[in-house]
Amino acid sequence: MVKAGGYGHGAVAVAHAALEGGATGLGVATLEEATQLRGLVDAEQILVMGGLLPAQAGEASAAGCAIGVSGRELAEALSAAPEPVPVHLKIDTGMGRFGCAPEEAPGLAQLIAESRGTRLAGTWTHFARSESDEAMTRRQFDTFLDTVSRFEVSPGLRHACNSAGALHHPDFALDAVRCGIAIYGCEWPGTQPALSLRSVITHLKTVEKGASIGYGSLWRATGPTRVATVAIGYADGVHRARANRGHVLVRGHRAPLIGMVSMDAITLDVSNVPGVRLGDTATLIGRDGDQVITAEEVAEWSNTISYEVLTSIGPRVERR
């Protein structure tokens, strides 16, 4: 899965690495994301998984990518394509976002397989709670298999597992798995993070007891404090929920984030960081010396999940 800019890492770079590592296809959410990957693999190996309108059928067929289909309207619109469009029919087994009802799936599969403009290249579903609810996940999986068994045409590539599904239910792998967050080194024990997020200290000063820092004066010094300003803010992916929460690594030490997160800057208490100076690296995710901050840890400080932490990293942050 390389949607959302490769989960914030940079879609093209991630796609190259994934393919070199053995991936057999790439998953995106939109047609626009698919065009960024043109030429890396055969177009059919790129699956557009997000919801498309019937009015986009012409654009979808011209792209040559595999298209996720959840309903009859899009299937019928695609059937007019001059060349058969590879379609992956999605079945809603409990996630509730996209997908046709199980009882509708055999008929839709037949329509897709028999139309001149479409070809049934795959059939899939998506787990809602594969990281935490084994009983529900098994019900979803059984429903999927039961539905596909009633097809009178070949279902094509069958796939159900996301990262959590592949981790907790490897026996549900079927013909392919759609690993997302796991390939970025998050939410899967033992993996190494693919990303570090770093900025630089651009201002240093010492404030006296009682001094306030940042919008809203949310932090006040209890004594003389060395304060560092770092060139990164909520426009770059540091959530405002981080006000007075968590740490940033400077010279191998954990420096508390103090005050409100601004659009372009954060402030740190570096009183306990020996030798701190202008231009020092500030590591928001990653390793500095013996200290490590993970995306999962940042997510806890931000009251969110690692996915949002990574995909929130803004476009002006240089990807290397």
Residues 181-201 as b or e (16 or more Cβ within 10 Å = b): bbbbbbbeeeeebbbbbbbeb
Q: Which of 21, 64, 73 is nearest to 45 (CA)?
A: 64
Q: For residues 45 and 32, give the distance between their C-alpha atoms in angstroms, rounded to a whole number.
A: 15
Strand partners, 41: 38
List 3, 7, 234, 307, catalytic entry: 3
List 184, 205, 215, 234, catalytic entry: 215
Look up 215 and say whether it is catalytic. yes
Q: For residues 163 and 172, give the distance between their C-alpha atoms in angstroms, rounded to a whole number.
A: 12
Q: Which of 92, 171, 153 is nearest to 127 (CA)?
A: 92
Q: For residues 103 and 109, give the distance between their C-alpha atoms in angstroms, rounded to a whole number.
A: 11
Q: How many residues does the chain have?
A: 320
Look up 205 and say whether it is catalytic. no
At 2, give phi and psi (nearest 5°). -125, 20
Catalytic residues: 3, 215
